[in-house]
Amino acid sequence: MTTSLTRALVQGRNSLESIAIPVLAFAVSMVLFGGFCTLWGAPFWAVFGSIYRAGFGSWYAWQNSLVHAAPLMLCGLCTALPIRAGLITVGNEGAFVIGGLGAAAAGLATQAASPWVSLCCMAAAGIAAGGAWIAMAAGLQYFRGVNAVISSLLLNYIALAVMLQLVEGPMRDPQSLNFPASYAITQSHQLGRLYHSRIHLGLAFGVMAAVLSWVLIERTVWGMKVKIVGGNSRAADLVGLNSGWLILAAAFLGGGCAGLAGMVEVAAVQGRASHAIAAGYGYVGILVAFLARQSPLRIVVVAVILGAMLASGGALERDLDLPDASIAAFEGITFLVILASESLYGRIPWLHGMFRGMPQGNK
């Protein structure tokens, strides 16, 4: 990544273009995806009809979207928080998996305790494991000069391998024949649902984490320090800030969010750790963070929209006979368009000029 991209990301420009360009990029991706589906024989508009129906068309669809949105919010924060300290990480999936694994281990170890104690242990273990995972990538970059984009990406595969090793080995439930999985968390020790709906408490965790992150970054001295480090870590060192610890802490918080999402997946959805928890929420979380321009509050909205997209994957297959991997194609298209759109910042005069009076970053 170029330094100008890093800087632009770090500063989280608060202008019209930081909303307009992602919206435009998302719209372009939708049109491209519609065209892609048309190539597969689906009518262009029917694609969007299906997505709307399965994402927002009914209360059932809304619940589906929100269930998918919960882990996306937390995984989005995993990229958005460290970026404020100048660290670009894509280790969301690894932190998610390790968090889920840690939570499952903690949950299985505390089956004898009361549900509340057990769930708190699971959440703490998930946050600690996920946080440590991303902090590891941060430490490698800060202390050893290893690029965190690359190390965190590779850590995703290591996390998956560690999880599979344990789930197919010491943690394996001998009854899980065709699909190796850990022993299951007792029903009473699983995470509850909101008001008789299918939406689990993970959604509340996601919204709370996003709001807390916003307060922390935008409204506290600590957040100010993190942003200074993100702007220029050498300058931050010169004014007496301990940039190493600030970067590690921001990375830990981000990773903790993804780890918590992993805990929710184990404690509310799967009920056990297995290959199934690596469903790609972490990778989509990166997309969420970029579409939201790293703003914790916008992450909530973007996560709901992308949650609806994920929820509609099956509907595209059922309604229009599209391949089951279509939604993965959509994610890929959006990734490319979002990255391409980064070059537009400051280049669209009428968007740029409208806010001439406002600080426009470092152009």
Partner 1 sequence: MKDAGGGLSRRGFAAAIAATALAGPRCLLGQHQPPLVVGFLYGGPKNDLGYNQAHFEGKRALLSLPYVKAIDQANVVETVAAEESMRDMIHEDGAQVIFATSYGYLDPYVLRVARESPRVQFFHCGGSYREGIDPANLGVYFGYIDEVEYLAGMTAGLATRSGLLGFVAAKPIPQVLRNINSYMLGARSVRPSAGMKVIFTGDWVLPLREAEAASSLADQGADVLTGHTGSPRVIVQVAERRGIWATGYQFDQSIVAPHGFLTGAEWSWGVVYKRYVELIHAGESVSAGTIPRRMSGTLKDEFCRLSPFGPAVTPEMRDRVLAAKRELLAGQRAIYRGPLRDNRGREAIPAGKTIAVQDPVLDGMDWLLEGIQGDVAKV
Number of chain residues interacting with partner 1 (CB under 8 A): 25
Q: Which amino acid, residue 183?
A: Y
Residue 9 structure tokens: 């990301």
Smaller CB distance to partner 1: residue 60 or 222? 60
280 near partner 1 (CB under 8 A): no
317 near partner 1 (CB under 8 A): yes
CA 78 to chain CA centroid, nearest Å: 6
73 near partner 1 (CB under 8 A): no
318 near partner 1 (CB under 8 A): yes
Q: Which amino acid, residue 46?
A: A
352 near partner 1 (CB under 8 A): no
* Stretch binding partner 1 (CB under 8 A), from 141-149, 176-184, 225-233, 329-337: 176-184
Q: Are 102 and 266 in contact (CB under 8 A)?
A: no
The residue from 15, 18, 29, 64 that contacts partner 1 (CB under 8 A) is 64
Torsion of CA 267, 269, 271, 277, to 10 degrees: -100
Residues 186-225 that bind partner 1 (CB under 8 A): none
Q: Which amino acid, residue 103?
A: A
d(CA 148, CA 152): 6
* Stretch binding partner 1 (CB under 8 A), from 141-149, 174-182, 203-211, 243-251: 174-182
The residue from 115, 223, 244, 314 that contacts partner 1 (CB under 8 A) is 314
Q: Are 294 and 87 in contact (CB under 8 A)?
A: no
The residue from 168, 173, 218, 319 that contacts partner 1 (CB under 8 A) is 319
In the complex, the smallest distance separating the C-beta of residue 276 from partner 1, rounded to whole angstroms, is: 4
Burial tier of 355 (Cβ tally within 10 Å: 0-12, 13-18, 19+): middle
276 near partner 1 (CB under 8 A): yes
d(CA 296, CA 33): 27
Smaller CB distance to partner 1: residue 78 or 316? 316
Task: Give residue for tokens 């993965």.
Answer: 328
163 near partner 1 (CB under 8 A): no
Q: Are 291 and 20 in contact (CB under 8 A)?
A: no
Strand partners, 274: 181
The residue from 112, 145, 179, 234 that contacts partner 1 (CB under 8 A) is 179
Q: What DSSP string runs through 334-354? A: HHHHHHHHGGGTTT-HHHHHT
Residues 78-97 that bind partner 1 (CB under 8 A): none
Which spans of this chain sit near partner 1 (rule: CB under 8 A)?
A: 53-54, 57-58, 60-61, 64, 177-179, 181, 269-271, 274, 276, 279, 314-315, 317-319, 323-325
